[in-house]
Amino acid sequence: MTRKVRVVIAKLGLDIHWRGVYLVSQFLKDAGMEVVYLGNQFPEQIVEAALEEDADIVGLSSLSGNHMTLGPKVVRMLGEKGLDHVKVYMGGVMAPDDAAALETEHGIHKVFLPDTPMAKIVEHMYASVGIPRPQPQA
Amino acid sequence: MHDLPALIQKSLQGDKRSTARLISLIERADPAAPFILEQIYPHTGNAYTIGITGPPGAGKSTLVDRLVQAFCGQQYSVGVIAVDPASPFTGGALLGDRVRMKHDRGDRDCFFRSMSAGKAMGGLAGATQDAARVLEASGRQIILIETVGVGQSELDVAKATDTVLVVLTPESGDSVQMMKAGLLEIADVYAINKSDRPGADSLSRALQVMLDRKTMAGGTPCWRPPICLTSASLGQGLPELYGCIWNHHDHLRKTSALEERRKSRLQAELQQKIEAELARVVREKILGEIEAAGWLEELWARKIDPLTAARRIVAAGFAETTGSK
């Protein structure tokens, strides 16, 4: 089997908003990725999943204001497990200043705010893992 | 990655990250995969493997979670491989078995791996069995293999595990469904999950009748699959199910059945690998040059049928190869 991008994706902490994370998960699947969907999880379990699933990417959905605390914690804990190669993406609702700070100061690889075209997310992820996007077959 | 022997060594000592990476390499059919399998194979063959299969939404993953809890509670080291289907169009997959796992896994000695079935159609992925071997070599004593949600004839799990648990629900069908061949025949243990819903008893009776007939046809069987009524989410019937699984294990151990099963599984795997290897060699060394495009027009115009065309292509390929030597 060819190399697939493996993404572990979770709703961060107790965030109950599900529509965005469902949509993104399915678009990534349709783009040829293997998406391990975790539902609601805290950083400890997310990092454990990234470890066991040999993830390339961790995707975190946050719309409830926990992004500045739990997001950086995931990055930190990945580092402690020697998983620095795993790229952490975040998506959801947050102040643009926070998004910028997450990227520049807290090691989040990329934050996608509302209205981001799905193709942009897909392309960004394939580019960051460094494998070509597969062409759909009939 | 740079140091494969070190990676294997660390995995054999139980390091999770190395184990996860080895499984990926095997799954991707990396050039390193044969070397990995060669190195870990001597460390395998003793783990007790349990297959969990059944239709989509029957509660397989939730039952797996409860079984993991029970095994870990008895100080076993557990490995789980959960397979979900892949898109035939993009190859992508949404692997959603992990979402059923209990949030607090801190006290569990468990390695859980989600796997895409890829193009395989038998309920497991092509690399599932070898991935299970990696888990065993890394020290896992119990291996649970959960199939994709299956219909009636995805039976690969029976070729990969010691005990097969078939999970049904009260809605799984009437007595005619219980008479059909396939999935229902490979069970060593049945769980009728969601048994708090109406219909569990009548399904159980229909299954019993089916098993009675088997007894009549084949004399007294040495193992009659027990039927457990469970509700994984409500926590009902789980100790009984756990007990039934161990009973089957003990039964396999007491008789020579375990060794026979494992030997015949190896035999089947060897056969399958020989065929795959033959196909690969033939494709690469003999048929490499064949232009298949010309034949399609002939097929489309009904000038030749696919079987005859295939035979001619292969015969011509062989003639060319042997002639050139």
| Number of C-beta neighbours around residue A112 at 10 A | 19
Partners of residue B24 in chain A, C-beta under 8 Å: 6, 54
- Extract the runs of DSSP E, i.e. beta strands, from A53-99: 57-62, 87-92
Of B228, B255, B282, which residue is a domain's last?
Answer: B255
- Looking up residue B232, the CATH number of its domain turns out to be 3.40.50.300
In-domain check, residue B14: no
pLDDT tens digits, B51-94: 999 999 999 999 999 999 999 999 999 999 999 999 888 889 99
Considering chain B, what percentage of its residues have pLDDT values greater than 90?
A: 59
pLDDT of residue B286: 66
- Among B17, B62, B94, pick the best mutation site for testing chain A contact (most A Cβ within 10 A): B94
pTM of the model: 0.90
Does B285 score more than 60 pLDDT? Answer: yes
Across-strand partners of B92? Answer: none
Q: Which chain A residues are within 8 Å of B87, Cβ to Cβ? A: 29-30, 32
**Do B301 and B182 have their domain in common?**
no
Please give the tally of structural domains in chain B: 2
Q: Are residues B307 and B176 in the same domain?
A: no
| Residue A121 confidence (pLDDT) | 97
Tokens of A1: 């089997």
The confidence score (pLDDT) of residue B89 equals 87
Task: Answer yes or no: is pLDDT of B290 > 70.
Answer: no
Write down the mean pLDDT value for chain B: 88
pLDDT for B296: 82
Instruction: Please indicate, yes or no, if residue B156 is contained in any of the structural domains.
Output: yes
- Residue B10 resides in a domain: no
ipTM confidence: 0.92
- Co-location of B197 and B292 in the same domain: no
The answer to whether the CB atoms of B127 and A3 lie below 8 A apart is no
B91 vs A53: CB contact, 8 Å cut-off?
Answer: no
Instruction: Tell me the pLDDT band of B325, cut-offs 50, 70 and 90.
Output: very low
CB proximity B111 to A under 8 Å: yes
C-alpha to C-alpha distance for B132 and B138, rounded to whole angstroms: 10
**Is B4 part of a structural domain of the chain?**
no
**Do B240 and B289 belong together in one domain?**
no
Q: Among A28-32, B157-161, B280-284, which range has the highest average pLDDT?
A: A28-32
Q: For chain A, what are the domain ranges?
A: 6-129
From chain A, the residues in CB contact with B95 under 8 A are: 34-37
Check whether residue B181 and residue B245 sit in a common domain.
yes
Same domain, B164 and B307: no
Contact B89 A138 (CB under 8 A): yes
Q: CA B203 to CA B276: how far, in whole Å?
A: 40
Q: Which residue of A has its CA nearest to B17?
A: A51
- State which residues form the domain around B248: 43-255
Tokens of B8: 């294997």
Cβ neighbours of A1 in B, within 8 Å = 27-29, 118-119, 126-127
| Domain identity same for B183 and B289 | no
Q: Are strands B189-192 and B110-116 parallel, antiparallel or unpaired?
A: unpaired
Candidates 3.40.50.1240, 3.40.50.720, 3.40.50.280, 3.30.43.10; CATH matching A6-129: 3.40.50.280
- Give whole-number Cα distances, B218 to B180, B215, B223, in Å: 17, 5, 12
pLDDT of residue B1: 52
Under the banding of pLDDT at 50, 70 and 90, the label for residue B14 is very high
What would the mean pLDDT of B254-261 be, rounded to a whole number? Answer: 89
Q: What are the tens digits of pLDDT across the range B85-123?
A: 998 888 899 999 998 887 566 678 999 999 999 888 888
Question: Is B304 inside any structural domain?
Answer: yes
The pLDDT, as a whole number, for residue B153 is: 73
Please state, as a whole number, how many other Cβ atoms lie within 10 Å of the Cβ of residue A93. 14
What is the distance in angstroms between the CA of the first residue and the CA of the last residue of chain B?
40
* Chain B residues closer than 8 Å to A49 by CB: 98, 112
Q: Do residues B208 and B313 both lie within one domain?
A: no
Strands (E), chain B: 48-53, 78-84, 93-95, 110-116, 142-146, 163-168, 189-192, 227-229
Distance CA B226, CA B188 (A): 7
pLDDT digits (tens, 9 = 90+) for B161-219: 999 999 999 988 777 777 777 888 889 999 999 999 999 999 999 999 888 887 777 65
- The residue from B229, B255, B281 where one domain ends is B255
**What is the reported pLDDT for B104?**
62
Q: Is B28 on the interface with A (CB under 8 A)?
A: yes
Q: Does residue B247 belong to any structural domain of this protein? A: yes
Report in angstroms the alpha-carbon separations of A79 from A88, B95, B157, B209, B247: 11, 25, 37, 57, 44
Could you write out the DSSP letters of every residue in A60-116?
Answer: EEE-SS-HHHHHHHHHHHHHHTT-TTSEEEEEE---HHHHHHHHHHS--SEEE-TT-
Q: Pick the residue of B116, B119, B128 with the most A CBs within 10 A to test the interface with A by mutation.
A: B116
